[in-house]
Amino acid sequence: MSIAAKKDDAPHILVFSTNNISDPGIDMAGSAHMHYSTQVQVISVPCSSGIKPTWVLHALESGFDGVFIAADGTDCAYLPDCTTRTGVLVKKTQDLLKEHGRSPKRLRMAAVCSVCSESFVSHMANFQKDIVKIASD
């Protein structure tokens, strides 16, 4: 747990989680009292393939410093090719961000399964660290 993560001026991250897969994983991090920054906010949606690029842009324009998509990966119950679709969305979004003068590095995606609590917590810490670097680039 990085010290920076504890401070209230750490980067704000919006996480899109998925109802059946990554959200339970984030819950489990809390149940195990794993700590991450309070600057992390989560919105849960049914599937990562349904996330609109404009939401990501809106978040960054509204004060968030980064957006993290906690994707279903291969565990998705709806789509066997969820990973591919989400990948396409991420690319689309990154292009959109570039168009609007935002660094595409402010969007990150990783598969977080329903028991991947450790991985989620370390993603948050790493993402916050990396975002600080973007600001200073």
Partner 1 sequence: MLNRRIGVFICHCGGNISDYVDVEEVRKSVENSPGVVLSKKHMFTCSDAAQTEMMKDVLDEKLDGLVIASCSPKLHLHTFRSMSERAGLNPYRYVQVNIREQCSWAHTDNMRGATKKAIALVEAGIAKSCLMPSLSTIRVETVPKALIIGAGIAGLRSALSLARLGIHAYLIEREEQPGGWVGNLGELFPQGKKGPSLIDSLLEQVRREEGITLFTGTELLEKSGNIGNFTVKLKTGQSDTISLNVGAIIVTTGFDTYAPQKTEYGFNDTNVITLAEYERCLQEGTGEIQYNGHTVKRVAYIYCVGSRQKTSESCPSPNTQCSRYCCTSAIHAAILTHKRDATVGQYHLYRDIRTYGKYELLYDEALNLGSIFLRFDAATPPTVHTDGQLRVNVHDTLTRGEEIEIDADLVVLVTGMVPRENKKLVNILKLPIGKDGFFNEIHPKLRPVETVIDGVFIAGTCQSPKTISESVASALSAVSKTAGLLKRGYVELEPLVAMVDADRCVWCDECTKACPYGAIQKVEHNGKEVAEIIPVLCKGEGACVPVCPKDALDVEGYTDHQITAMIDAFSKEMAK
Partner 2 sequence: MLPTDISQELDYDICIVGAGIAGMESALNLGDMGYRVLLVEKEASIGGKMILLSKVFPTLDCASCISTPKMASAAHHPNVTIMVYSEIDEIERKENGTFGVQMHQKPTYVDPNACIGCGQCETACTVAIPDEFNFNLDARRVAHIPFPQAVPKKAILQRNGQSPCNHTCPAGVKPHGYTSLVRAGLHDAAFELHLETTPLIGSLSRACYAPCEKECTRGEFEGSVQIRAIKRFIADRYYELNSEPNYGPVKERKDKRIAIVGAGPAGLNAAFQLARKGYDVTIFEAEEKAGGTMQYGIPDVRLPKDVLERDIKNVTALGVSIRTNTKVESLEKLKQDGFDAVFLGLGCSRTRSKREESADGTTSVKTKAPGRVRSPNTTPFADEIKLAANGVIEINKTLQTSLPYVFAGGDAVTGPLTITAAIGQGNQAAYFIEQFLQGHPLNAADLKELECTDKLAVIAREARLSTRKPTKLLKRENVSKEEGRKAAKLPLTEEEARYSANRCLDCGNCSECHQCVSVCPSNAIDFSMQPIHHQIKVGSVIIATGFELFDAHRKPTFGFGKYPNVVTAMQMDRLLSPTRPFNSVLRPSDGKEPDNIAFVLCVGSRDSQVDHRLCSRVCCMYTAKQAQLIMGSLPLADVTIYYIDIRAFGKGYDEFYEQAKGMGVDFVHGKVADITESSEDEGNLVVRFENLTEGKIEKREHDLVVLSVGLLPNTSAQGMFRGTSIEADNFRYIKEMDEDMEPGVTSIDGVFVAGAANAARDIPDTILHSGAAAVQAAAYIENLKGLVC
Contact status: 65 vs partner 2 (CB under 8 A): no
Q: Are 43 and 15 in contact (CB under 8 A)?
A: yes
**Torsion angle of C-alpha atoms 16, 71, 6, 104, degrees rounded to 10:** -80
Contact at 8 Å (CB) between 67 and 13? yes
Question: Residue 51, Cα to own-chain centre: how many angstroms?
Answer: 11
Stretch that binds partner 2, among 21-29, 45-53, 57-65, 81-89 (CB under 8 A): 21-29
75 touching partner 2, by CB under 8 A: yes
> Smallest gap, in angstroms, from Cβ of residue 78 to partner 1?
4
Residue 88 is a binding residue for partner 2 (CB under 8 A): no
Q: Count the neighbouring beta carbons within 10 Å of the beta carbon of residue 101.
A: 6
* Binding test (CB under 8 A) with partner 2, winner from 2, 44, 103, 114: 114
2, 55, 122, 129: which one contacts partner 1 (CB under 8 A)?
Answer: 55
Least CB distance to partner 2 at residue 115 (A): 4
